[in-house]
Amino acid sequence: MAYDRDNIFAKILRGEIPCKKLYEDEHALAFPDINPQARQHVLVIPKGEYVSWADFAARASEQEIAGLVRAVGKVAKAMGLEDSGYRLLANHGPDSHQEVPHLHVHIFGGQKLGRMLAVTRED
Ligand code: AMP
């Protein structure tokens, strides 16, 4: 899948759409999800143009990969979730209902999150 430079997170990274920056460094940006699915719901995105985890793993530099992983850890800690716990989620493709084709990690927390998936297996 080719990277679409008109996706909404690309626009946020270019400053064309506002977001409340919770964390930013050379490699990553974090901001609250506009439609939160938990009491605390934050998105962490790499600054580079990557569609998916596989795309990121294949093309990103070691520094970019370390940068995103560290950013997720720092943001989760800054959200105060180290003791209560949290969930990380990265959607890719139609089965996951990925809406925005720029790699992002969801951080959910601040409440009991239920079981791992909201659906049961169909097969
Ligand atoms: P996904 O389904 O994993 O692609 O998730 C995309 C997420 O981006 C959804 O949870 C949306 O609510 C969120 N979202 C879309 N537009 C914005 C925006 N402008 N600012 C913050 N979050 C957004």
3-state percent breakdown (helix, strand, coil) of the chain, nearest 5:
25, 20, 55
| pLDDT in the model for residue 123 | 56
pLDDT in tens, 49-91: 999 999 999 999 999 999 999 999 999 999 999 999 999 999 9
pLDDT in tens, 25-54: 999 999 999 999 999 999 999 999 999 999
Q: Is the minimum distance from the CB of 22 to ligand 1 under 6 angstroms?
A: no
The whole-model pTM stands at 0.96
Ligand 1 pocket test, candidate residues 1, 4, 8, 103, most atoms within 8 A of CB:
8
Write the single-letter amino acid at 115. Answer: R
Length of the chain, please?
123
Q: Is the minimum distance from the CB of 98 to ligand 1 under 6 angstroms?
A: yes
User: Which distant-in-sequence residues (6+ apart) come within 8 Å of 8 by Cβ?
Assistant: 17, 100, 102
Taking a C-beta distance cutoff of 8 angstroms, is the pair 65, 46 a contact?
no
Q: How confident is the model at residue 118 (pLDDT cuts 50, 70, 90)?
A: confident
Is 41 annotated in the active site?
no
User: b/e per residue, 45-58, with b = 16+ CB within 10 A?
Assistant: bbbbbbbbeebbee
Ligand 1 atom closest to the Cα of residue 19 is: 20
| pLDDT in the model for residue 122 | 65
Q: How far is the CA of 26 from the centre of ligand 1 (A)?
A: 22
| pLDDT in the model for residue 119 | 78
Q: Is the minimum distance from the CB of 44 to ligand 1 under 6 angstroms?
A: no
